[in-house]
């Protein structure tokens, strides 16, 4: 190791070991912060609050709008800052920190990171996809070319960077890295390097790899992992291109697995765990509920509870009061009873994709056509409270909600809105 590299390494270790003194540094982020994919618990659910009854401009007003290059990454929000990504000039990937109140840029960091997806997916663009995750004052960002970068959230300084293609000698994922990283304890987990990878969050050192599948078209997972306790055992729950599985957090051992048929391996939704069951839905497949139980030898066994012919696509579901609310491949929205798999109702078509956030019995859904919908989670009928065209651009990135503020990543901009309850009775 050269003197320069040695000095750089020592400085990196020093910065990573600094005490967390900024407002971002709380051990447990406040519930109103939106620090990762799909919110505080990665399930699209927020603590119940008094959301307004309308989306009109007098209730939901624009705070600011800042233009950027294209991105599919959802925004990350803290008390003071908002983080967003972009791909610029088909050459570099950029991470920006903005002042939450004003949208003013605080810092930016970039690296070479562009690539082109296959022709049949080109209509959806060749730009950064994964949503970052914030842990204290460290921001973790997955780039298209299968890289994971750790940044100081206060300054944008790079702490470490892992190039999985180079370090693990794995193929470049055909569709780019799409899995949003997850922080749990002292480690970061991500579906990358044609596998599932666990790394030390302070150094980027790879701890283990699981579910290695050789790469290529089948090796670039689309889904994002979650941590859950199932059958009494904490585990990482992942959905690869062909397989749903639970993985031991410490060893990387696959505890149980289940094949999930899908057209071209289009298993995209984030798995949903309710008690000891796991729900998923696939493009070209079906909607499925599995139970996971402990056998006499303490191994875990998986069994199909029910199958419903509905097909999910890119939109991860919301589960409220024993019902799954899911946007489908055919662009319709449906409600499925979790215990039985019975379809309660299905709507006429909307757009191709929804990102959803729920509080209590209300669901906010952002359609990829720039329309925002406010829905009551009613298992008896589709109950649309209000709707509003909120952007003229496409809005594929996941909606973020923090307190009274909404953050919407358009294809070429980031918008901030604020709403207040109208004060009317339910």
Q: How far apart are the first and last CA of the chain?
A: 67
For residues 285 and 417, membership in a common domain is answered with no
Which pLDDT tens digit goes with each residue over 192-215? 999 999 999 999 999 999 998 644
Domains of the chain: total: 3
- CATH for 131: 2.40.128.630
Choose the final residue of a domain: 221, 256, 274.
Answer: 221
* Full domain range(s) for residue 59: 44-69+315-426
Burial of 27 (0-12, 13-18, 19+ CB in 10 A): exposed
6 lies in some domain:
no
20 confidence band (pLDDT: 50, 70, 90): very low
User: Does one domain contain both 133 and 103?
Assistant: yes
The predicted structure's pLDDT at residue 17: 44
- Residues 238-268 have pLDDT tens digits of 999 889 999 999 999 999 999 998 888 889 9
Whether residue 324 lies inside any domain: the answer is yes
Are residues 261 and 386 located together in one domain of the fold?
no
HSE-up of residue 359 (Cα within 13 Å, Cβ side): 19
Give the tokens for residue 323.
């019902």
Closest to 71 (Cα-Cα) out of 420, 412, 417, 416: 412
Q: Give the pLDDT of residue 40.
A: 95
Query: Is the pLDDT assigned to residue 218 strictly greater than 50?
Result: no
DSSP secondary structure, 311-371, as one string:
-B-SPPPEEETTEEEEEBTTS-EEEEETTT--EEEE-----S-EEEEEETTEEEEEETTSE
Would you say residue 28 lies in a domain?
Answer: no
- Torsions phi, psi of 330, nearest 5? -80, 10
- pLDDT score of 27: 44
Q: What is the pTM of this model?
A: 0.90
Render pLDDT for 133-164 as a digit per residue (tens, 0 to 9): 999 999 999 999 999 999 999 999 999 999 99
Helix (H) or strand (E) holding 301: strand 300-308
Per-residue pLDDT band for 352 (boundaries 50, 70, 90) equals very high
Do residues 85 and 184 share a domain?
yes
pLDDT digits (tens, 9 = 90+) for 365-416: 999 999 999 999 999 999 999 999 999 999 999 999 999 999 999 999 999 9
Per the domain annotation, does 23 fall within a domain?
Answer: no
Rounded to 5°, the CA angle 315-261-198 comes to 70
Looking at residue 122, its pLDDT comes to: 61
Residues 57 and 85 in one domain: no
Q: Are 304 and 256 in contact (CB under 8 A)?
A: no
Q: Tell me, what DSSP letter sits at residue 40?
A: T
Domain end, chosen from 312, 329, 361, is at 312
Reading the block at residue 140, the tokens are 């973790």
Do 308 and 327 share a domain, yes or no? no
Residues 208 and 79 in one domain: yes
Do both 169 and 191 map to the same domain? yes
Q: What is the mean pLDDT of the chain?
A: 90
pLDDT of residue 28: 53
Query: In this structure, is residue 173 part of a structural domain?
Result: yes
3-class SS at 219?
Answer: helix
Asked if residue 38 belongs to a domain, the reply is no
Q: How far apart are CA 20 and CA 221, in angstroms?
A: 33
413 and 361 both lie in a single domain: yes
Q: How far is CA 107 from CA 51, 81, 93, 156, in A?
A: 32, 11, 14, 6
Residues 6+ apart with CB under 8 A from 205: 199
Same domain, 75 and 213: yes
Q: What is the CATH number of the domain that holds 272?
A: 2.40.10.480
Same domain, 233 and 203: no
Q: Are residues 124 and 257 in the same domain?
A: no
């Amino acid at each position: 190791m050269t003197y320069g590299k040695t000095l750089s390494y020592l400085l990196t270790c020093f910065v990573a070991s600094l005490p967390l003194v900024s407002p971002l540094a709380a051990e447990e982020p406040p519930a109103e912060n939106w620090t990762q994919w799909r919110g505080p618990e990665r399930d699209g659910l927020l603590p119940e609050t008094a959301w307004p009854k309308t989306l009109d401009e007098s209730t939901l007003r624009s705070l600011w709008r800042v233009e950027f290059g294209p991105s599919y990454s959802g925004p990350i929000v803290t008390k003071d800052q908002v983080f967003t990504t972009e791909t610029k000039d088909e050459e570099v990937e950029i991470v920006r920190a903005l002042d939450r109140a004003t949208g003013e840029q605080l810092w930016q960091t970039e690296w070479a990171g562009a690539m082109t997806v296959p022709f049949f997916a080109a209509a959806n663009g060749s730009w950064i996809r994964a949503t970052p995750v914030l842990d204290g004052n460290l921001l973790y960002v997955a780039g298209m070319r299968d890289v994971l970068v750790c940044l100081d959230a206060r300054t944008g300084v790079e702490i470490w960077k892992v190039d999985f293609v180079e370090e693990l000698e794995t193929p470049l994922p055909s569709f780019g890295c799409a899995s949003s990283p997850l922080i749990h304890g002292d480690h970061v987990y991500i579906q990358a390097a044609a596998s599932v990878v666990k790394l030390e969050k302070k150094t980027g050192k790879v701890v283990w790899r699981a579910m290695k599948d050789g790469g290529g078209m089948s090796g670039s997972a689309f889904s994002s992992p979650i941590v859950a306790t199932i059958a009494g055992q904490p585990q990482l729950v992942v959905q690869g291109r062909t397989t749903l599985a639970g993985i031991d957090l410490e060893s990387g051992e696959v505890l149980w697995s289940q094949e999930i048929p899908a057209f071209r391996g289009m298993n995209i939704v984030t798995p949903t765990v309710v008690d000891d069951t796991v729900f998923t839905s696939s493009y070209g497949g079906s909607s499925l509920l599995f139970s996971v139980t402990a056998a006499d030898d303490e191994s875990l066994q998986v069994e199909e509870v029910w199958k419903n012919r509905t097909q999910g696509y890119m939109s991860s579901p919301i589960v409220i009061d024993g019902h799954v609310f899911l946007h489908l491949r055919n662009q319709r929205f449906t409600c499925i009873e979790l215990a039985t798999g019975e379809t309660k109702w299905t709507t006429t078509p909307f757009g191709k994709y929804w990102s959803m956030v729920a509080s209590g019995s209300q669901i906010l859904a952002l359609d990829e056509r720039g329309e925002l919908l406010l829905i009551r989670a009613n298992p008896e009928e589709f109950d649309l409270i209000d709707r509003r065209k909120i952007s003229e651009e496409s809005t594929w990135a996941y909606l973020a909600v923090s307190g009274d503020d909404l953050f919407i990543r358009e294809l070429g901009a980031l918008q901030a809105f604020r709403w207040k309850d109208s004060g009317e009775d339910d």
